[in-house]
Amino acid sequence: MQNKIILLLSCAIVVLAAVVCTRTAADVEDVNWQVMGTLAKVQTRGDCDGKWTSGFAAETMGVFKNVEALLNAHSPTSEISRLAHLPQDEVLGSCAAEMRPCYVAAFALSEASGGAFNPRWRGVGTLDFGAIAKGFAVDLAVTECAKKEAKVALLVDLGGNLKSAKGTWRVGVKDPNGEGYAATVEMREGEAMATSATYYRGSHIYDGRTGAAVSNGVASVTVLASSAMWADGLSTVLFVLGPDEGRLFLDAKLAALGCGDVAVLWILGDRSAVVRDVACRFNLR
The model's pLDDT over 179-201, given as tens digits with 9 standing for 90+, comes to 899 999 999 999 999 999 977 55
Confirm if 166 and 153 have CB atoms less than 8 A apart: yes
Largest CA distance in the chain: 86
Residues of the chain with pLDDT under 50: 1-21
Task: Please give the torsion angle defined by the CA atoms of residues 83, 84, 89 and 95, in that order, rounded to the nearest 10 degrees.
Answer: 30
The pTM of the full predicted model, rounded to 2 decimals, is: 0.90
Confirm if 64 and 141 have CB atoms less than 8 A apart: yes
Q: Looking at the domain covering 28-284, what would its CATH class be? A: alpha beta
Structure confidence by residue, pLDDT tens digits, 148-169: 888 899 999 999 999 999 999 9
Q: Which residues contact 171 (CB under 8 A, 6 or more apart)?
A: 162, 184, 185, 187, 193
Q: Quick one: CA dihedral 133, 138, 139, 145, positive or negative?
A: positive
Backbone phi, then psi, for 69, in 5-degree steps?
A: -65, -35
Confirm if 192 and 227 have CB atoms less than 8 A apart: yes
Confirm if 199 and 243 have CB atoms less than 8 A apart: no
